[in-house]
């Protein structure tokens, strides 16, 4: 979509075409006389070069504008910015289940005499509708690996040589407000 209104496009079109010595796209060079990939020419749009939002006729000069085809205009002025709310399946799973799973595990550790790692994986996967592999791989690395000193939970070896889940810190110091969002890649203009 052009970054100018229909009125501004009509006002500036001929002036800009005369200024740049013809009706052609300054981005790719296509004009009314050419076809590209067997597609018909769909027209040119008046584009404000610096996109400063100042589109009043009295404040602009013809040199502030250029003619662009629809394709080049979309590249320069995308109609949608990258959406941060689009999440991968694993990010949606983390957002839905990670914090409740760890809170549930803490309750299980406090209420049961022994809460094994196998119980956490099997019961937790059923309780929170996540795969056992997700718990074993992702949440083990994040919460139960030996280098996870900030995690409220830890694994220890029990009497019968099975891994048991134990509390690592006092509950008052536990912070479960963990960022489960993977930041989007930085895009450059």
pLDDT digits (tens, 9 = 90+) for 100-143: 998 999 899 899 888 889 999 999 999 988 889 888 888 888 88
Neighbours of 121 (CB within 10 A): 18
Angstrom distances, CA of residue 182 to CA of 57, 130, 131: 44, 19, 20
CA distance 25 to 139: 53
The two structure tokens encoding residue 154: 């830890």
Instruction: Tell me, yes or no, whether 50 and 126 share the same domain.
Output: no
Instruction: Give residue 148's pLDDT.
Output: 78
23 bridge partner residues: none
Indicate the pLDDT class of residue 171, thresholds 50, 70 and 90. very low
| Closest CA relative to residue 139, chosen from 172, 113, 165 | 165
Indicate the pLDDT class of residue 182, thresholds 50, 70 and 90. low
Domain residues for the domain of 101 are 89-173
Q: Mean pLDDT over residues 63-89, rounded? A: 76
Indicate the pLDDT class of residue 188, thresholds 50, 70 and 90. low
Q: Of 50, 76, 102, which closes a domain?
A: 76
Residue 84 falls inside a structural domain: no
Candidate ranges 84-88, 92-96, 159-163; pick with highest mean pLDDT: 92-96
Q: What are phi and psi of 24, to 5 degrees?
A: -150, 160
Q: How many residues make up the chain in this entry?
A: 189
Neighbours of 168 (CB within 10 A): 18
Name the residue with higher pLDDT: 76 or 53. 76
Instruction: Tell me, yes or no, whether 34 and 70 share the same domain.
Output: yes
- Strand residues in the chain grouped as ranges (E): 44-48, 65-69, 153-157, 163-167
Residue 24 falls inside a structural domain: yes
Q: Of 76, 111, 134, which closes a domain?
A: 76
Instruction: Give residue 107's pLDDT.
Output: 92
Instruction: Tell me, yes or no, whether 99 and 147 share the same domain.
Output: yes
Instruction: Give residue 174's pLDDT.
Output: 47
Instruction: Give residue 62's pLDDT.
Output: 82
Instruction: Tell me, yes or no, whether 42 and 101 share the same domain.
Output: no
Instruction: Tell me, yes or no, whether 151 and 113 share the same domain.
Output: yes
Q: Mean pLDDT over residues 93-106, rounded? A: 88
pLDDT digits (tens, 9 = 90+) for 17-69: 888 888 888 888 777 776 666 666 667 888 888 766 555 555 678 888 888 88
CA distance 32 to 44: 9
Instruction: Tell me, yes or no, whether 96 and 72 share the same domain.
Output: no
CA dihedral 74, 78, 80, 84 (to 10 degrees): 140
- Provide the CATH number for the domain around residue 122: 1.10.10
Residue 50 falls inside a structural domain: yes
Q: How many domains does the chain have?
A: 2
Q: Mean pLDDT over residues 133-158, rounded? A: 84
Does pTM top 0.85 for this prediction? no
């Amino acid at each position: 979509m052009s970054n100018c209104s229909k009125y501004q496009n009509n006002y500036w079109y001929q002036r800009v075409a005369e200024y740049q010595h013809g009706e052609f796209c300054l981005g790719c060079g296509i004009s009314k006389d050419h076809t590209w990939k067997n597609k018909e020419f769909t027209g040119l749009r008046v584009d404000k070069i610096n996109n400063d939002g100042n589109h009043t006729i009295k404040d602009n000069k013809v040199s502030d504008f250029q003619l662009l085809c629809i394709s080049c205009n979309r590249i320069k002025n995308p109609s949608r910015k990258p959406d941060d709310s689009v999440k991968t399946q694993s990010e949606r799973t983390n957002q839905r289940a990670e914090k409740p799973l760890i809170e549930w595990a803490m309750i299980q550790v406090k209420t049961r005499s022994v809460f094994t790692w196998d119980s956490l994986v099997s019961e937790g996967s059923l309780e929170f509708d996540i795969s056992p592999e997700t718990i074993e791989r992702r949440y083990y690395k994040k919460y139960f690996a030996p280098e996870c000193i900030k995690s409220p939970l830890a694994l220890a070896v029990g009497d019968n040589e099975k891994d048991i889940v134990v509390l690592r810190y006092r509950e008052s110091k536990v912070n479960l407000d963990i960022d489960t969002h993977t930041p989007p890649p930085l895009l450059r203009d």
